[in-house]
Structures are given as structure tokens and as C-alpha cells.
């Protein structure tokens, strides 16, 4: 049975924070050879390589990232011990790092994160960006899970998996037309200003096929790559927008907007993308399980 040397763990933590043996040795006031030997002994004790050498710095492996999380917990527990004995209690908290594609519905994001909001034992770290950026962070272990409206492409080198959480219908949504007038599909598409997703959106591609099928040349008032902005433009009366109703759920409930036409052949899919890790974040696993449970209910 291996025994953990906390002195080794302290050295490892310093290397992880500094990114180099030289920096860690200087910070701890020891020689570089001494700290290198301590790291080697820790890796042998754990049976895992904790760092990869990239150029002039050391980068944590997956096992290293897990070890650092535990090291931080261990040293934080020591700080909490002192705090408790000094009558300054501090509750332990788990961290869940979630990446959200910037164009993703905020309402969908909120529904996924709802079980963790307000929990005293959970700290949420949310990152927004394009899918490529977030997947890079997922692979480097700085994110635990990514929420997206596109699946990840599986290839030989990828260990990422896409989990379909929900499939939402898509509608044309906007303010009431007034004077009892009703939107007539597809004829009114030729004269009604439209607020559409940008050309690189799969929703836009599917909608353009509908227009082509009906030989309609639309009046495009705006092309936007952000669902939240489409919602705001629709609220301002800029035209009818093409969105899943979940994006404008609050406006529909308050009757600020109405659903003028629902498509049966256009859908928005929502995914959770997770890495194939031997040491998954338990909160990320819980998020995935709860989201799947809600979508199948």
C-alpha cells in the first residue's frame, strides 16, 4: 500500500502553480534538483505521470489536474482546521467548471445549471466562447463539461462525447400583428421583415431550404449569431425571428411576443459535451444525469 508524503505534495503544488521547476524551487527556497527528486518520488508513489514537458514549462496531465484538485483540498482543509479552532468556520465547496457556447439560449443554460445554483457546497465557474475555444479548454482539463447547440465531431484522436439533452421545435416569433391580422405561412414570408440567425447556423440553413422550396425571396431585417440578441430585437418589434420557443419563454408567457408559426421539420438540438476521463468531475456527471432525466420526463 502506498503512503502519501505531504511534503512531496507541497512541492508538487508549488510546481503546478509556478509552471517550472526553477520557479517552484525559488519560491520554496530549495534547489531545483531537490524539488525534481521530490516530484519523481511522488509520481512513483502514485503510479502516474503528473506533468508533461512543453517547451520550457511543465503542463499538468489529467492525473496531475486531479492530483492538484486534491492537493488544494488538502491544504485548504488545513486552513479550515485553523479557522474552525479560531471560531471562523468555512464550509467546503466543490467546483463545477462549465463552458457555454456564446450563441446558446440563456434559458437553456439556466435550466441545466438550476440544480446547482444557490448550493452552499458548490462553486460554479462559467466560461463563454465559441465551440472550438471551449473544446480546447475541455481537453486541457480547465473545463469539466461544455453546453452546446452543436455536437462535437468524433475523430480518431478525439475522446469527447456529445450527449443529446433536448430537441426543441423552432418557430417564427414576434409581436402581435395588430387589428386581428394573422400571419399566413408561407405567403407572408415575402413581405414580413425577418430577424434570422447568421448564415453559418444550421437553423438558417434549414430555413433557407424552406424559402427555396416555396420560391420566396425574404425581407431580411437583420442577421444575428446570438440568440439573446434575436430575442431583444423581436421584443423591439424589429420583425419575426426564427428561434426555439425556449429562448423567448418569458416573453411568450407575458404575451410580449407570440408564436406565429411552428415548423415541424426544423429543430434546435442541445448537447452536453464531456471528455472521456478516468476521473470525471462528479458534479459534471450529476449535471449530465439531471439534464437527461429532465429531457426524458
Residue-by-residue DSSP string for 168-183? EEEEEEES--STT---
Predicted confidence (pLDDT) per residue in 193-241, tens digit: 999 998 888 899 999 999 999 999 999 999 998 888 888 999 999 899 9
Confidence at 89, pLDDT banded by 50, 70, 90:
very low
**What's the domain count of the chain?**
3
> What pLDDT, on a 0 to 100 scale, did the predictor assign at position 80?
65
175 and 141, same domain (yes or no): no
Domain span including residue 12 = 6-85
Q: Would you give the DSSP letter of residue 131?
A: H
CA atoms of 220 and 158, how far apart (whole Å):
39
pLDDT beyond 80 at 156: no
Per-residue pLDDT, averaged over 70-83, amounts to 77
pLDDT-derived band at 12, boundaries 50, 70, 90: very high
Give the confidence band of 295 by pLDDT, cuts at 50, 70, 90: low
The predicted structure's pLDDT at residue 88: 52
Q: Quote the pLDDT of residue 92.
A: 62
Statement: residue 91 has pLDDT above 90: no
- Report the pLDDT averaged over residues 264-276: 89
* Confidence (pLDDT) at 1: 47
For helices 32-46 and 6-18, angle between their N-to-C axes, nearest 10 degrees: 110
The pLDDT confidence band at residue 146, using thresholds 50, 70 and 90, is very high
Q: Are residues 179 and 262 in the same domain?
A: yes
Condensed to tens digits (0 to 9), the pLDDT of residues 34-69 reads: 899 999 999 988 889 999 988 778 899 999 988 998
**Same structural domain, 182 and 248:** yes
Q: 68: domain CATH number?
A: 1.10.10.10
Q: Are residues 76 and 49 in the same domain?
A: yes
Does one domain contain both 175 and 255?
A: yes
pLDDT confidence of residue 77 = 76
Name the domain boundary from 85, 119, 150. 85
Quick check: 19 and 58 in contact, CB under 8 A?
yes
Q: What is the pLDDT of residue 155?
A: 62
Domain stop point among 66, 85, 104: 85
Query: The domain spanning residue 138 has which CATH number?
Result: 3.40.190.10
Q: Are 52 and 134 in a shared domain?
A: no
**pLDDT over 50 (residue 140):** yes
Is residue 132 domain-shared with residue 257, that is, in the same domain?
no
Q: Is residue 1 part of a domain?
A: no
Q: Let me know whether 31 and 60 are in one domain.
A: yes
Lowest mean pLDDT among 6-20, 83-97, 112-126, 139-153: 83-97
Which among 122, 125, 98 is positioned nearest to 112, based on CA atoms?
A: 98
**Is there a single domain that holds both residue 73 and residue 140?**
no
* Distance between CA atoms of residues 182 and 173, nearest Å: 12
Q: Which of 67, 85, 103 is the last residue of a domain?
A: 85
- The yes-or-no verdict on residue 87 having pLDDT over 60 is no
Phi and psi dihedrals of 277, rounded to 5? -105, 150
Amino acid at each position: 500500500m502506498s503512503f502519501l508524503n505531504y511534503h512531496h505534495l507541497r512541492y508538487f503544488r508549488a510546481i503546478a502553480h509556478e509552471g517550472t521547476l526553477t520557479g517552484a524551487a525559488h519560491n520554496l527556497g530549495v534547489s531545483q534538483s531537490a524539488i525534481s527528486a521530490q516530484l519523481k518520488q511522488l509520481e512513483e508513489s502514485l503510479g502516474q505521470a503528473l506533468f508533461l514537458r512543453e517547451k520550457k514549462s511543465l503542463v499538468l496531465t489529467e492525473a496531475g489536474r486531479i492530483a492538484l484538485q486534491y492537493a488544494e483540498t488538502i491544504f485548504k482543509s488545513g486552513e479550515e482546521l485553523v479557522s474552525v479552532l479560531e471560531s471562523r468556520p468555512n464550509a467546503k465547496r466543490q467546483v463545477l467548471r462549465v463552458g457555454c457556447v456564446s450563441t446558446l439560449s440563456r434559458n437553456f443554460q439556466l435550466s441545466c445549471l438550476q440544480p446547482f445554483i444557490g448550493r452552499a457546497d458548490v462553486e460554479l465557474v462559467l466560461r463563454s466562447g465559441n465551440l472550438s475555444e471551449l473544446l480546447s479548454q475541455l481537453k486541457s482539463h480547465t473545463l469539466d463539461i461544455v453546453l452546446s447547440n452543436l455536437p462535437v465531431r468524433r475523430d480518431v484522436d478525439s475522446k469527447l462525447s456529445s450527449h443529446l439533452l433536448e430537441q426543441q421545435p423552432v418557430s417564427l416569433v414576434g409581436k402581435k400583428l395588430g387589428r386581428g391580422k394573422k400571419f399566413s405561412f408561407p405567403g407572408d414570408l415575402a413581405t414580413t421583415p425577418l430577424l434570422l440567425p447568421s448564415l453559418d447556423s444550421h437553423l438558417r440553413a434549414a430555413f433557407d431550404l424552406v424559402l427555396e422550396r416555396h420560391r420566396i425571396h425574404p425581407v431580411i431585417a437583420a442577421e444575428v449569431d446570438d440568440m439573446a440578441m434575436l430575442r431583444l430585437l423581436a421584443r423591439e418589434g424589429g420583425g419575426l425571428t426564427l428561434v426555439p420557443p425556449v429562448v423567448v419563454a418569458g416573453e411568450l408567457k407575458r404575451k410580449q411576443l407570440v408564436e406565429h408559426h411552428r415548423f415541424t421539420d426544423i429543430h434546435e438540438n442541445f448537447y452536453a459535451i464531456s471528455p472521456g476521463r478516468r476521473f470525471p468531475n462528479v458534479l459534471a456527471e450529476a449535471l449530465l444525469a439531471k439534464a437527461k432525466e429532465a429531457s426524458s420526463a
